[in-house]
């Protein structure tokens, strides 16, 4: 029973409304400012490989997926799109999903990098809608998807079972590329954040008014993890992050696919120059979030990423040369548009739909080509040399990654941006008056 676009009615709707209210206190922490000047229009904005034209938006449909058993050369065009943080509890976001056209005879693939809905029926309904529009859909859960009053671990298993029933991929899969013997790999990676991921200096002069991360983030109330003598999982230490990281090995080992283990997958990928798209919900590197002085909630980096995830991402192509890397990693969670290649020669992309209020208030830090109307195009087999190389779309304009192309990251600079400083000065004054 998939929900219709918009409200779900009765008790379910009251629950969704309550969960959205609960989100409000923590979602403010995800906001950075649009105070940075808009980046100059790049060639990607002006047309060519970085631009998704109207034909891209109108060609998502159900079709037979590329068979992993068939290694023959195919002549069918393959495109891969990506989206994260769909948050389809909001009627405006579900309407965005429903507006994607239903067309036939396509091999388009969609990556959904977590945070669809904390409500199970809405999550299922949204993924089914995507599956009706794309030949293959990949998904890995985000923090919102695992909110549960009783057990987030049990919910994770229910989400996995639901994905199997709905033909949604949660494990690696490859696709034959047209008119060549090469393949494109898509690899989902499970993860959770841990506080030690944040290795950059804290802004100590805000200590008196800055709430602790466990008080600021809704996850610490909305997720229920095992706690006791046999097992205790906690996002403040590394136990929860290592638990989720180990699930990657367990899930691929338990599956009936031809990957014997995660190590075997790494060996396969490192032994070829086949292009790879890996994806997670959380951040694999600290450099993928603005410096703390730009964040309204400077403790946010303690609840966004995983070094275990980062190590796993790198290992997938660590033995390749930089020229042969051809590796794009998609992530979500922080609600900042991003597209940059870092020193490990891996390209990192975030294309988040975000909350409707964020799209209205700070579209400049969310905007990606055509994101208002469709998921972002990452790979097109018709692109012979698309700036990104061998089918990958060239790097796309995104405000914060454009900023760090021009300006060296300096986490030791703890001077708050003016808009952040003004907000916390007001809070300090209120705190002192109480």
Give the tokens for residue 420.
Answer: 């952040």
Lookup result for tokens 């919910």? 155
Average pLDDT over residues 109-138: 97
Query: pLDDT at residue 79 above 50?
Result: yes
User: What global pTM score does this model have?
Assistant: 0.84
Q: What is the pLDDT of residues 341-366, one digit of tens each?
A: 999 999 999 999 999 999 999 999 99
Q: Check residue 197 and give its pLDDT.
A: 97
User: Pairing mode, if any, of strands 79-83 and 376-380?
Assistant: antiparallel
Smallest Cα–Cα separation from 144: which of 27, 231, 28, 234?
A: 27
pLDDT at 334 over 80: yes
Per-residue pLDDT tens over the stretch 270-328: 999 999 999 999 999 999 999 999 999 999 999 999 999 999 999 999 999 998 899 99
Quote the pLDDT of residue 215. Answer: 93
CATH of domain 53-433: 3.60.21
Q: Shortest CA distance to 185 belongs to which of 176, 174, 193? A: 174
- Locate the domains of the chain by residue range: 53-433
Instruction: State residue 319's pLDDT score.
Output: 96
Per residue in 237-246, pLDDT (tens digit) is 999 999 999 9
Q: What is the mean pLDDT of residues 251-255?
A: 87
Higher per-residue confidence, 106 vs 155: 155
Q: Which helix (H) or strand (E) holds 423?
A: helix 418-433
What confidence tens digit (pLDDT) does each residue in 160-216 have?
A: 999 999 999 999 999 999 888 899 999 999 999 999 999 999 998 888 788 999 999
Q: How far apart are CA 24 and CA 31, in angstroms?
A: 11
Residue 428 has pLDDT above 90, yes or no: no
pLDDT-derived band at 8, boundaries 50, 70, 90: very low
Q: For residue range 11-59, what is the model confidence (pLDDT) as tens digits?
A: 333 343 344 444 443 444 444 444 444 433 333 332 222 333 333 344 4
């Amino acid at each position: 029973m998939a929900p219709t676009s918009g409200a779900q009615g009765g008790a379910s709707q009251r629950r969704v409304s309550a969960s959205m209210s609960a989100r409000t206190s923590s979602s403010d922490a995800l906001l950075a400012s649009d105070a940075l000047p808009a980046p100059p229009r790049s060639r990607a904005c002006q047309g060519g490989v970085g631009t998704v034209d109207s034909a891209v938006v109108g060609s998502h449909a159900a079709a037979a997926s590329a068979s992993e058993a068939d290694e023959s050369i195919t002549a069918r065009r393959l495109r891969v799109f990506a989206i994260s943080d769909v948050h389809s509890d909001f009627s405006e976001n579900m309407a965005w999903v429903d507006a994607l056209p239903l067309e036939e005879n396509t091999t388009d693939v969609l990556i959904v990098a977590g945070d669809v809905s904390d409500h199970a029926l809405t999550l299922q309904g949204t993924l089914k809608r995507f599956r009706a529009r794309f030949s293959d859909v990949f998904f890995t859960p985000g923090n919102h998807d695992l909110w549960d009053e009783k057990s987030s671990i049990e919910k994770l298993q229910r989400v996995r079972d639901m994905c199997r029933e709905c033909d949604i991929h949660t494990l690696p899969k490859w696709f034959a590329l047209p008119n060549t013997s090469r393949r494109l790999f898509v690899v989902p990676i499970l993860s959770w954040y841990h506080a030690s991921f944040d290795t950059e200096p804290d802004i100590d002069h805000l200590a008196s008014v800055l709430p602790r991360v466990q008080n600021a983030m809704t996850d610490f109330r909305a997720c229920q993890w095992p706690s006791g003598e046999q097992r205790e999982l906690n996002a403040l230490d590394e136990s929860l992050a290592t638990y989720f990281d180990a699930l990657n090995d367990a899930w691929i080992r338990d599956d009936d696919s031809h990957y014997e283990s995660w190590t075997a997958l790494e060996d396969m990928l490192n032994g070829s120059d086949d292009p790879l798209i890996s994806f997670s919900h959380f951040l694999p590197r600290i450099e993928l979030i603005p410096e703390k002085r730009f964040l309204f909630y400077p403790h946010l980096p303690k609840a966004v990423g995983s070094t275990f995830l980062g190590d796993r991402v790198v290992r997938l192509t660590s033995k390749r040369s930089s020229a042969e890397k051809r590796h794009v990693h998609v992530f979500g969670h922080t609600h900042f548009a991003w597209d940059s290649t870092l020193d490990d020669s891996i390209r990192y992309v975030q294309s988040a739909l975000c909350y409707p209020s964020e799209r209205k208030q700070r579209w400049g830090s969310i905007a990606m080509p055509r994101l208002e109307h469709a998921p972002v195009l990452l790979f097109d087999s018709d692109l012979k040399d698309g700036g990104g190389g061998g089918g990958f779309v060239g790097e796309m304009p995104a405000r914060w990654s454009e900023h760090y192309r021009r300006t060296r990251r300096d986490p030791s600079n703890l001077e708050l941006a003016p808009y952040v400083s003004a907000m916390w000065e007001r809070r300090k004054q209120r705190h002192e008056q109480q």
